[in-house]
Amino acid sequence: MLSIAGVSISLQLTPQTIAIIVAILVVLLIILGIGGRRRHRRRRAGAQHRAGVSRGGTRSRAKKRDHGMEIAQRHGAARSPEWPRVEKEHLLHEPACAACGYRGHGLQVHHIKPFHLHPKLELEPSNLITLCEIKGRNHHLLLGHLDEWESFNVNVRDDVRRYHGKSDLHIRADIAWQKAVAKRP
């Protein structure tokens, strides 16, 4: 016997009644659980978007880091105001990573001879190559800078052919690459 607000209710709990109550509770828990996950996912995606991270987990194009500019500033040099135009034109002409063919977010235009050492070559198309900066490949850092942003690789075009399609693990394991790293400028 159940008494609520002065009203008495008599319930007979049969196995069928218990099964119906349990089924209703399970359905409610499933609905609430899915709704909770969906809200959490939206909240997390919104935070990543505000932080400049795309759904794939990589940095969005608007927030990419300009390592060349940072290094040049440390050496007292500055980017040309024409650089954004030249970079965009180069990506239209060479829209994929020269080392693996990747197309998408995470592509960088790399100066073969660094512009802080060779300022006249900053906007020269023959001094530019497209390399990716994505997890698992990172050809910009590995092949363009020999695994050190302050360094550079004047043989990057040869290395791009030598390591075409290789992951960062394969490149780092290669003895010839390790020797080049040991002699990097």
Same domain for 41 and 74 = no
Structural domain total, the chain: 2
Strands 107-111 and 128-132: antiparallel
Same domain for 148 and 110 = yes
Same domain for 95 and 21 = no
Q: What is the pTM of this model?
A: 0.63
Same domain for 95 and 13 = no
Same domain for 104 and 82 = yes
Using DSSP's 3-state secondary structure scheme, residue 59 falls into strand
Distance CA 83, CA 76 (A): 17
Same domain for 165 and 106 = yes
Nearest to 178 by CA among 146, 156, 154: 146
Same domain for 136 and 175 = yes
Contacts of 89 (CB under 8 A, 6+ apart): none
21-54: pLDDT as tens digits = 899 988 888 888 765 555 555 544 444 444 444 4
Same domain for 124 and 70 = yes
Within-domain flag for 56: no
Same domain for 46 and 98 = no
Domain that holds residue 125: 61-182
Same domain for 97 and 75 = yes
Same domain for 45 and 76 = no
127-175: pLDDT as tens digits = 999 999 998 889 999 999 999 988 999 999 999 999 998 999 999 999 9
Radius of gyration of the chain (CA): 29
Same domain for 69 and 96 = yes
Q: What is the largest CA-CA distance in the chain?
A: 93
